[in-house]
Structure 1
């Protein structure tokens, strides 16, 4: 399911997310631990065709700085960053920390300090995050922020099927942040079969009952992080504006 405006879509479904309504640790959605799988690959610092455009990592830092303090007080969140490494281009899968209370500052600090590099071991990163969540024994949520495709030979679609056969209750949401699909990319064996007109990362969401959300701007990324990491509550959605850090 592709959603261009996740907050609006959830409003139509009769759902509301903190901070639009009060939440507590006792709410079912918030009691489930989450892992944020964050794209730190080299493409996060690419300018593309327009050198005047702000890099993805610069905008992602702004969005994380806004969104995480709003959701982290109500859910235990962990962080995995993929991309940067000192070995081969696909070995950079770094579990920064497992789910913990009030993780906003830790997530913000790690994303601020990130120096993107390497390729995109998407399938192995999600598999690692599931293991951190102990998905066989406990419910869990994985939120993937990615700007593109698997580029390390992994098979996200097949892997998501395997996870679902193993997991007690695992949901994977995928945020395609200024995502570009390169049909000529190397080491992406599922692209032709499963990619269609988008990234194979969509399989992760579609096959686990999660959301696939596209985000092109800082505000859309903030909304996507709220929609996927936030706490689902029934209620009325009110308009919310976001002040970007200066």
Structure 2
């Protein structure tokens, strides 16, 4: 009975460790997400000579084999699993570390067969087994859970805890959980330090009752039904890496459970059933608001995969400027919606009145002023949405008439000042009649009614008033002030 209880305790501990490794974090919402639906797991098994030691009349290696065999049978069929062991071939050899089953799609029969064939013999080179394991996973996009099962501390290298810290600092994506099986307090200190350094937890077969309730809670959370959100992200036709921000529409909770792969552009997010909004940003854009893709009202159903796409390729904006229905050149100012400073300006083509520009995904404000018309009237396009691969066309139409203001003095062309007032009496323009042709100035005015006052520069008491001057689009008029 005692042997059975000891085995049951160990199975509970390892089972808890695996379930912990298969979650993303301890909180319920975070545990409902993971970088990938396929689980990455590597066992490091102590097969040193001390594993022949007995617990309640049964060899520790025999208990470990039984527990691991049962657990491997229950692992998901899409899991990615490897097995490393140490001390199983030669006595007194610190290099007796071997990858027995390569880190790849799970082969349950091979794993079980390999574990059952182990015969403990040698030392406890924990550091070297951890280093070998890290080498195997250093190129992995997704996080790998490492489970170290040991009945003692390092016997070859000085500080395995420091090694784990260094490996984490290099950016290798792993969490390490450590199971101390029938260890002393001194041995526990070292093993627990490794678990903490690896971002995981330490468990011991000696205090199963202490965390029995926690194990039940972890099992409960780990068996929640999940659905998968698969987002394919690209930019300019190529896979694109960016973070995925998820908002639960019911609770309002917002978090980032993962990111898309730079190699494939795919993000696989595990979510509990419900409705979500998703946001992805092109954080590589500087000098303004980053382009954002919003994926709205995504319904996640247990056991199903929902696929969405996010394209940061941008689109094209074509602006055409017309004056009285004919193309003319003017300057276009580009703003990101909500910003006060334009990030670009360009002039439309003098013959076609067009400009075409490729823009990043997002919302824009476009200002098209016509500086050749008095008062510089401006057409504004608000909240222009640039969609992936799409073309947005807008036309800025201006209408105006032309008034030539001329002045003569004793019958000869005369350069003198004049002013233009709108119908409210507000002065909107002032200039001299000296234009391209001496004594004449062409003025372009929007449709409306105006007053023009021409002054005699030689005699300030003299002026000519042209009131109720009607300007019609496309028409030309000439007024002459004779002094």
Which TM-score tier does this pair reach, normalised by the shorter chain?
0.5 to 0.7
Corresponding residue for 2:224? 235
Corresponding residue for 1:192? none
Where 1:159 maps in the other structure, the secondary structure is: helix
TM-score for the superposition, normalised by structure 2: 0.36
Corresponding residue for 2:199? 209
Corresponding residue for 1:117? 121
Return the offset for 1:65: 1.5
Q: Structure 1 residues 106, 83: CA separation in 2 closer, same or farther (over 3 Å shift)?
A: same
Return the offset for 1:85: 2.9
**CA deviation string 1:205-226 (max 9, x = no partner):** 10121111112599xxxxxxxx
Q: Structure 1 residues 72, 155: CA separation in 2 closer, same or farther (over 3 Å shift)?
A: farther
Corresponding residue for 2:155? 151
Where 1:71 maps in the other structure, the secondary structure is: coil
- 2:23 aligned with 1:33, yes or no? no
Distance of 1:156 and 1:140 partners within structure 2: 19
Paired residue for 1:42, among 45, 49, 56? 49
Where 1:37 maps in the other structure, the secondary structure is: strand
- 2:121 aligned with 1:132, yes or no? no
TM-score for the superposition, normalised by structure 1: 0.67
Corresponding residue for 2:250? none
Q: Structure 1 residues 59, 127: CA separation in 2 closer, same or farther (over 3 Å shift)?
A: same
Return the offset for 1:136: 7.5
Distance of 2:58 and 2:74 partners within structure 1: 24
Q: For the Cα contact (< 8 Å) 2:91–2:122, is it kept in 1?
A: no
- In structure 2, list runs of 5 or more residues that go unmatched: 1-11, 21-25, 209-216, 226-483
Distance of 1:124 and 1:175 partners within structure 2: 18
Name which structure has the greater RCO, CA cutoff 8 Å, separation 6+: 1
Q: For the Cα contact (< 8 Å) 2:48–2:86, is it kept in 1?
A: yes
Q: Structure 1 residues 137, 7: CA separation in 2 closer, same or farther (over 3 Å shift)?
A: closer
Structure number with higher helix proportion: 1
Aligned length: 201
- In structure 1, list runs of 5 or more residues that go unmatched: 16-22, 184-194, 219-226, 237-246
Distance of 2:60 and 2:79 partners within structure 1: 26
Return the offset for 1:138: 5.4
Paired residue for 1:97, among 92, 97, 101? 101
Q: For the Cα contact (< 8 Å) 1:143–1:173, is it kept in 2?
A: yes
**CA deviation string 1:26-76 (max 9, x = no partner):** 95365352211011000111237xxx6101011111101210111152411
Q: Structure 1 residues 234, 72: CA separation in 2 closer, same or farther (over 3 Å shift)?
A: closer
Give RMSD over aligned pairs. 3.9
Where 1:78 maps in the other structure, the secondary structure is: strand
Q: For the Cα contact (< 8 Å) 2:180–2:202, is it kept in 1?
A: yes
Q: For the Cα contact (< 8 Å) 1:81–1:96, is it kept in 2?
A: yes
Distance of 2:54 and 2:74 partners within structure 1: 30
